[in-house]
Amino acid sequence: MNGTQRVDPIRLAMPSKGHLYEGIIEILKTAGYKVRRVSDRQYEATISGQPRFHVVFMRPTDIVLQVQEGRCHLGVTGMDVYAEHAFEAQQAVVVDPDLGYGGCRLVVAVPESWVDVGHVLDLVDLTSEFKSAGKTFRVSTKYPALVRQYFRKWGIYYYQLINSEGALELHPSLGIADVIVDLTSSGVTLKDNRLREIAGGIVLDSAACLIGHAPSLASLADEGETGPLALLLDALDGVRRSEGLLHLEVVGGPAEPGPETAAKVADYLREQGARHLVRGEVWDDRGLPGWRVTALVAAKKLTACQRALLGLGASRIVGLPAQFVFDRAAASTFDDLKKRLADDGGATS
């Protein structure tokens, strides 16, 4: 025995390319976890200053399966991909359902010419009419498990799924399918192909998510609040809560009535949606009294506020990007995960 304790590597699986890859690389970099990858043809990487982490790159679907098998302890994928395979990956659990990027929704889209179909309930009658006429109502999708579950919830039973990995928007016009169930964010692609969403037709809201192998998570959580899992999740929380925010400092000099002016500035900023307002006295380099108000404010609002703040008596306004925001009252992903693991005996779902 040499007194050293063996620590196992933590394998983190990421998409090898695309917006899911680009988003997590940027978030991790902001959080202080810079991924070192020589080229996009390299399928393994390290994280600077974090020797426990071993990064591997693969397809989003493979990430779910490898986390399920425990070969990877953590993985970044789309919630749509995870949900589609959740029934066969019960040991792969959601750690963070929304990493703050990759937002989209899985929707039912019908041809624009179907003016009588405005709600998903209309498909109940329509599929029955197809069946009575001896026709098959066809649905193209990349998410057969989610579609079956969704249609069952609405009482839709008479249809045939057309599984496809290609572009689905052309399927109705080519006669491959009658409707599609596919991902959309803005809806522009659907509209450009003469398709539209229907009311009640959201199968799933999706975003980039962090998943983990439940038994491995339980072991990592036992390393405590200073362990690598806790530090990573806390950093991601801090980055996400800081998105789009500035740390604002508004200062007034000795010529202005301090407490009254500071109170007016704080009231104005509160009306603009600023949070975590603090005000107090300050002194300049000559010892003359002044006042200061600090707050968190949306970056997009500062320019519109600056003239009003100067008019209220501010002599200087500084807005610095907030890289991390930690709030005692805010939920902690690590604390929430520990509770779920304890409640479920290390096999949370």
The answer to whether residues 92 and 216 belong to one domain is yes
Q: Is residue 348 domain-resident?
A: no
Strand-by-strand arrangement of the 53-58 sheet: 35-36, 44-47, 53-58, 10-15, 74-78, 208-213, 92-96
Q: Predicted confidence band at 1 (pLDDT cuts at 50, 70, 90)?
A: very low
Per-residue pLDDT tens digits for 54-82: 999 999 999 999 999 999 999 999 999 99
The answer to whether residues 234 and 255 belong to one domain is no
Give 133's Cβ-side CA count (13 Å radius): 9
Q: Is residue 303 domain-resident?
A: yes
The answer to whether residues 252 and 308 belong to one domain is yes
| Mean pLDDT computed over every residue of the chain | 92
Q: How far apart are CA 227 and CA 62, in angstroms?
A: 27
**pLDDT(281) > 70:** yes
**pLDDT(183) > 80:** yes
**pLDDT(235) > 90:** yes
The answer to whether residues 220 and 74 belong to one domain is yes
The pLDDT value recorded for residue 5 is 52
CATH number, domain of 31, equals: 3.40.190.10
**pLDDT(98) > 70:** yes
The answer to whether residues 295 and 336 belong to one domain is no
Q: Is residue 4 domain-resident?
A: no
The answer to whether residues 231 and 305 belong to one domain is no
Per-residue pLDDT tens digits for 100-122: 999 999 999 999 999 999 999 99
Q: How far apart are CA 145 and CA 162, in angstroms?
A: 12
The answer to whether residues 131 and 196 belong to one domain is yes
The pLDDT value recorded for residue 255 is 62
4-8, 209-213, 281-285, 296-300: lowest mean pLDDT where?
A: 4-8
CATH number, domain of 253, equals: 3.30.70.120
The answer to whether residues 133 and 165 belong to one domain is yes
Q: Is residue 88 domain-resident?
A: yes
The answer to whether residues 224 and 280 belong to one domain is no
Q: Is residue 314 domain-resident?
A: yes
Per-residue pLDDT tens digits for 118-165: 999 999 999 999 999 999 999 999 999 999 999 999 999 999 999 988
The pLDDT value recorded for residue 41 is 84
Q: How many of the other CB atoms lie within 10 Å of CB of 131?
A: 14
Q: Predicted confidence band at 6 (pLDDT cuts at 50, 70, 90)?
A: low
Q: Is residue 5 domain-resident?
A: no
Q: 163 and 147 in contact (C-beta within 8 Å)?
A: no
The answer to whether residues 220 and 339 belong to one domain is yes
Q: Predicted confidence band at 210 (pLDDT cuts at 50, 70, 90)?
A: very high
**pLDDT(348) > 70:** no
Q: Is residue 1 domain-resident?
A: no
The answer to whether residues 336 and 256 belong to one domain is no
Number of structural domains in the chain: 3
Q: Which two tokens stand for residue 26?
A: 């940027």
Q: Is residue 145 domain-resident?
A: yes
Domain extent, residue 311, equals 245-321
Report the candidate in 115, 130, 126 with the shortest Cα–Cα distance to residue 154: 126
Q: Predicted confidence band at 293 (pLDDT cuts at 50, 70, 90)?
A: very high
The pLDDT value recorded for residue 346 is 47
Q: 296 and 247 in contact (C-beta within 8 Å)?
A: yes
The answer to whether residues 86 and 36 belong to one domain is yes
